[in-house]
Amino acid sequence: MGHDLIDRRSLELNRLVAEKIRQHPELMDFVRNKLDRTLSEPRLSNSCKDALREWQTILSSHSLNEILEILTQDSYEGQRLHQSTPFSGVLSQQERLEPVYDLEINWKGNSYLRDGEREDIKDETSVAE
């Protein structure tokens, strides 16, 4: 899978996370608690902890709208932050899979993927009716 698709998928998932948190702001308590638990994990590498501490600073020093704006940045900085997101677990598996599947199908249909790169994706448009 190419980096462009990975970045697009990450951005799309973060947009869905932001949308869900806007509807249910109490989910930020879940994110903060999970982040604290993760940072207390002794097996976590220092580089991972440093990246998550950056998110901890963002969560403690920005408003909800600012946090969600940072979460959905389509920039180098946004991509860098997406790689160490503390927002995993906000979306259910179903909420994650459908849009990702659609994005990958669309990506493949628009020739963004090299031929054969994701042969495991089933193209529903080719199913006989």
> Which residues form the domain of 74?
3-126
pTM, 2 dp: 0.71
pLDDT recorded at residue 9: 79
What is the C-alpha to C-alpha distance for residues 99 and 115, in angstroms, rounded to an integer?
A: 21
The predicted-structure confidence for 19-74, as pLDDT tens digits, reads as follows 999 999 999 999 999 999 999 999 999 999 999 999 999 999 999 999 999 999 99
The predicted-structure confidence for 97-128, as pLDDT tens digits, reads as follows 776 655 555 555 554 443 444 444 444 433 43
pLDDT recorded at residue 54: 96
> How many domains, in total, are found in the chain?
1
